[in-house]
Structure 1
Amino acid sequence: MPNNQQSKTVPPLIIQKSRLQSVSNNYETSQQIPDQTDGFTVKKNKNNKNGKHSLPHSPNSPSQQSKTFVSSNRFSLFSNYSEPSEIQNDHSIEIDLEPETTTPVIKPPPPIFIRVVNDFNAFCNSIKMLTNGEYFSCKSSTNGVKLSTTSADSYRSVIKFLQDSKADFHTYQLKQDRAYRVILRNLHHTTPIEEIKNELLAHGHQTRNITNVLQRNTKLPLPLFFIDLEPAINNKDIFSIKFLYHTKIKIEEPRANKLTIQCLRCQAFGHTKSYCNHPPKCVRCGANHLSTSCQKSQSLPAKCALCSGDHPANYRGCPVHKEFQSTLQSKKKL
């Protein structure tokens, strides 16, 4: 007789791989799998004390093992950072690299000191026409009128007008017309001036004036020359010249003159004869003529053109000179 228990056929157990792959990665928080499924007993993992199962995972899924050490992403602060656009970067670079432009400061022309002005209204009308409407200013004092212009062209026009009118005035040289002066040492005093000019021209320097220096007391010539160069960009290159006309020479800047400037035409202090249009005064006799044309004998006592004392006008002990010196010192202290 057949055994009924043996006649029972156990259905085959089929484990679908897709079912296992569909388990969530976060399986610890998902629904637990029952211990028995369709009569199949699943062996519990001894290491899983909570009854949770360690399931296989796909190669593309992250590891399911718990991490012993957890570290935060130190670059997470920059996750929301957005780089500026290329246009903004180019614009900022253009601003940073833009060179600073500075306008050169143009100094005004020197003032003009007119000693006698008989009609100030007519004088101002004449200056208006000469300056073509440009701004000018005047300042009156007991010594005359101080006229200040704003451009070199206006300055030159006024100077020409005053010279043609034979006005009593003095002024100073324009800075752009000022020569660049240097001292040439160790060159023999008999060296021809034209040879010095040609030698310097070969080095790229154009001279305006060359003067041999005389000893102050003995009036003997010295191996020393004052050289005035025309204003140029390469004026300072002249100091690199070491040999000139078969001679080892030295070129240096002139020393500052601490003596009071005195005009050799009118004998007044504070300006030079080159820009003086005052009536001439003799340095020896004080008469109204140039010192070079004086007929006074050397045996006769001198007469100062400034204080009428018995000394020449260039005497440093003159009371007028001392007063001028004290005025300069008081202005320097201010």
Structure 2
Amino acid sequence: LATPAVPTSNSFTGLDELELADKPETQTPKPIRPPPLFIDGVKNIQPLLKLLEDIAKGEYEIKVLRGDKVKIQSKSADPYSTIYKELKAKDTEFYCYQPKQDRSFRVVLKNLHPSTDKEDIKIAIEELHHKVINVWNIQNSRRKQALSMCNIEVEPRENNKDIYSVKYLLYNKCAVRYWTRPEKGYHYKKNAPAALPHGWCGKELSRI
């Protein structure tokens, strides 16, 4: 007589599938796009198109804007650098904004006496793990008097926003506020969404 088969089961069956299902999908970080270049006074776009095709074929996009202005968006850093250098070599009138990751970070430090030594302020802030680029007083635009506020400019780092938590500096109770570009005299914004950058990286003075 044939012996009936004994049913068996593997308790580990399916564990591999469960482990794969539990693992979160790794997302590839998106490459950082370089800032666009803006060219002014483009009366005839053909020379510009020929130049771009010669030096960065397929690695850029253009958009025609109002007022004889053209926007060039490079797809990566290499063609951006090539286009930038070529436009500059040809004395082209253009400008571009500084990449976000390269912008310095500015804040307004309040409630320190204007006679406080700037070097002492710099040392105190750097002890909090920030690299200070510059410190300068804010003046009243009419009276030309230094106020109990100063601008602090630090290098871009991941911990930049930690500076907003500073409550005491050099044994003084102080406050750190978001910085915005001053229009007249001094200006700061208490509840701005982020510290604003300053300037763009260049503007050339003749045409293509």
TM-score, normalised with respect to structure 1: 0.46
* Structure 1 portions without partners, runs of 5+: 1-81, 260-271, 280-334
1:70 alignment counterpart = none
Higher radius of gyration, 1 or 2: 1
Whole-angstrom CA distance in 1 between matches of 2:95 and 2:69: 11
The residue number in structure 2 matching 1:135 is: 59
2:1 matched to 1:86?
Answer: no
Determine the C-alpha separation between the residues in 2 that align with 1:223 and 1:134: 54
Q: Structure 2 counterpart of 1:277, which letter? A: K
Shift of 1:205: 0.6
Structure with more relative contact order (C-alpha pairs < 8 Å, separation 6 or more): 2
Aligned to 2:158: 233
Partners of 1:241 and 1:207 in 2: CA distance: 15
CA shift, 1:202, in A, is 1.8
Closer/same/farther in 2, CA of residues 155 and 219 from structure 1, 3 Å limit: farther
Cα 1:167/1:211, change in 2 over 3 Å:
farther
Please tell me the residue identity of whatever aligns with 1:144. Answer: K
State the alpha-carbon separation in 2 of the partners of residues 273 and 257 from structure 1: 10
**Worse-superposed segment, 172-181 or 82-91:** 82-91
Alpha-carbon distance in 1 for matches of 2:105, 2:99: 13
Paired residue for 2:203? Answer: 277
Q: Residue 222 in 1 paired to residue 147 in 2?
A: yes
Residues 179-233 of structure 1: CA distance to partner in whole angstroms, max 9, x if unpaired? 2222211122233333322222222111233332222443322111222222212
Amino acid at match of 2:135: I
User: Quick check: 2:36–2:71 contact (8 Å CA) kept in 1?
Assistant: yes
Distance 1:194 1:127, change over 3 A: farther
Are the counterparts in 2 of residues 163 and 277 from structure 1 also a CA contact under 8 Å? no
Match of 2:79 in 1: 154
**Structure 2 contact 60–75 (Cα < 8 Å) conserved:** yes
**Within 5 A, what are the aligned runs for 1:237-248?**
237-248=162-173
Written as runs of structure 1 = structure 2, the 5 A alignment for 1:234-273 is 234-254=159-179
**Counterpart-to-counterpart distance in 2, 1:198 and 1:170:** 36
Q: How far apart, CA to CA, are the structure 1 residues paired with 2:43 and 2:86?
A: 16
1:203 to 128, 140, 151: 128
Cα distance between partner residues in 1 of 2:149 and 2:182? 20
Name the count of aligned residue pairs: 184
C-alpha offsets along residues 262-321 of structure 1, whole Å, 9 cap, x if unaligned?
A: xxxxxxxxxx75445255xxxxxxxxxxxxxxxxxxxxxxxxxxxxxxxxxxxxxxxxxx
What pairs up with 1:45-194 in 2 under 5 angstroms? 85-117=10-42, 120-128=45-53, 130-131=55-56, 133=57, 135-141=59-65, 142-194=67-119
Contact 2:97 2:199 in 1 (8 A): no
CA contact (8 A) 2:106 2:153 kept: yes
Are residues 249 and 237 of structure 1, via their aligned partners in 2, closer, same or farther at CA, if it must alter by over 3 Å? same
Give me the CA root mean square deviation. 3.2
Give, in angstroms, the shift of residue 240 of structure 1.
3.2
Relative distance call for 1:114 and 1:86 in structure 2 (3 A) is: same
Secondary structure (helix, strand or coil) at the match of 1:225 reads: strand
When residues 112 and 103 of structure 1 are mapped into structure 2, their CA distance, relative to the original with a 3 A threshold, is same
Question: Aligned to 2:97, what secondary structure does the other structure show?
Answer: coil
The answer for unaligned runs of 5 or more in structure 2 is 1-6, 184-197
Q: Kindly tell me: are residues 153 and 195 of structure 1, through their superposed partners in 2, closer, same or farther at Cα, counting changes over 3 Å?
A: farther
